[in-house]
Structure 1
Amino acid sequence: MNLAPYLESGMLALYVLDSLPNDEKLNIERAVKNHPELLQKISEIEMTFESYSDLDADSPRPVLRGRIIDNIVNLQKEQVMNVNDLPIITAYSSYKNWLNFAKDLEMELPVAGKAIHVLREDEDVLQMVVTTTSGVKEESHPDVLESMLILEGECKFTVAGNKRIMKLGDFIDIPMNRVHDLELISPSLTVILQKIKV
């Protein structure tokens, strides 16, 4: 059994914090029975957390603790890339994981210089892979937080008059009600585009 996903992903720390879904907890508990080195690693993590708790410091506010755990869980989801439980893209997202995931997707036929594959669409989140050869004209959004992660290509992105050259692996959050546009530098651009309703 390959233990690297357990040892390198932060999953064991989440297990110790009791912040994993039940099915993942059970997977770890099964793996521990056959691999005592995992139990040793869990004990080390517990001792580390205990030593931190002994420090004379305030614990993080519940909101901050929640955000930290959300980020850890989100990065963990990126290791797996389950189409039914995709993570939210953030400044910490790995473009390599998203690029590997997107390369096997069937894109819609291009319309007006854009090919799209919707990854997730529910009442809160719209996520899609977009390949464009035409850029994006000025737009703004009053009710969504828009984010973009570059998978291929290069562009000049302008938000509220501030220009930024973006290339492979770059991420941007676009504030609500800010006029923005995208001008291609390379012949085409492939991105993960995400819109979160507020």
Structure 2
Amino acid sequence: MSKVRDFIDSGILNEYCLGLLQPEEVLEVERMARLYPEVQKAIDQLLVSIKPSDLQQDIANKGLKGQILETLGQLGEPPVFDLQCLPLINVYSDSEQWQRTLAGLSPAPEFRNLYVYPLRNHDGVEQFILWARHEIRPERHHDEHESFLILEGECECRIGGETVRLKAGDFVRIPLKVEHTVRVVSPEPVKAVVQRVKL
């Protein structure tokens, strides 16, 4: 059991909950959570304790990410993703790479408020593109972690008692069991990759 305790105490779960891990690290944390209930319990406790202001700090840190991506951009654009094998989104996700990957997909021309295009729904992971013109009603998730990466437009996301403004390139992870809603503030619809990972 000391291996599990060392894993929990390593700080990796904090980074997981804030969306700071690389995709392979995310998979390892999720594997450990499936194998060891105490790891899942620690994740659930951390997600409940995360304040929306912690998420805002993640967004502020994207300035460095932008500088790094700009430097890497001089090396050439990353290839588009394979739609049959999409990566999980996280704070390091490249919204422009996602935009290029999804460039051929568009909503029905006359959708009213929301339009959803499924991308993936297997192995406990659901991903879809969401276009929203006005708002998304309040919701909360008890058995899945939700996050999203904004590709186009701007919105205000009310998470618990705090409001976070998001624009293209921003990533947010919604804490477990916290009510959240989205209001579009740009003239054009918001386009986002939404991801839900079952516990």
TM-score of the two chains, using structure 2 as the length reference: 0.60
Q: Relative to structure 1, is the Cα distance of residues 107 and 71 closer, same or farther in structure 2, using a 3 angstrom cutoff? A: farther
SS at match of 1:142: coil
Which structure 1 residue ranges, 5 or more long, are not aligned? Answer: 1-59
Which structure 2 residue ranges, 5 or more long, are not aligned? Answer: 1-5, 13-20, 28-77
Report 1:25-40 matches (<5 A): none
Residue pair 1:154, 1:189 contacting (<8 A) in 2 also? yes
Q: Which has the higher contact order (CA 8 A, sep 6+)?
A: 2
Aligned to 1:140: 140
AA partner of residue 165 (structure 2) = I
SS at match of 1:89: coil
Aligned to 1:190: 191
AA partner of residue 115 (structure 2) = A
1:175 partnered with 2:170:
no
Summarize deviations over 1:153-197 as a string: whole Å, max 9, x none.
001111111111100100000011000011111021000011011
Alignment length (residue pairs): 133
Deviation at 1:105? 1.7
1:70 partnered with 2:24:
yes
Q: Relative to structure 1, is the Cα distance of residues 71 and 101 closer, same or farther in structure 2, using a 3 angstrom cutoff? A: farther
Deviation at 1:135? 1.4
Q: Relative to structure 1, is the Cα distance of residues 144 and 111 closer, same or farther in structure 2, using a 3 angstrom cutoff? A: farther
Once residues 113 and 69 of structure 1 are traced to their aligned partners in structure 2, the CA distance between those partners, rounded to angstroms, is 32
Deviation at 1:107? 3.5
CA RMSD of aligned residues (A): 2.7
Residue pair 1:108, 1:117 contacting (<8 A) in 2 also? no
AA partner of residue 150 (structure 2) = I
Once residues 155 and 80 of structure 1 are traced to their aligned partners in structure 2, the CA distance between those partners, rounded to angstroms, is 26
Summarize deviations over 1:123-164 as a string: whole Å, max 9, x none.
401101111102111110111100010000001111111111
Once residues 148 and 97 of structure 1 are traced to their aligned partners in structure 2, the CA distance between those partners, rounded to angstroms, is 15
Residue pair 2:23, 2:87 contacting (<8 A) in 1 also? no
Summarize deviations over 1:57-93 as a string: whole Å, max 9, x none.
xxx96x86xx6570599xxxx7440111100000110
AA partner of residue 105 (structure 1) = L
TM-score of the two chains, using structure 1 as the length reference: 0.60
Q: Relative to structure 1, is the Cα distance of residues 148 and 110 closer, same or farther in structure 2, using a 3 angstrom cutoff? A: farther
Once residues 86 and 97 of structure 1 are traced to their aligned partners in structure 2, the CA distance between those partners, rounded to angstroms, is 12
Identity percentage over the alignment?
Answer: 27
AA partner of residue 118 (structure 1) = P
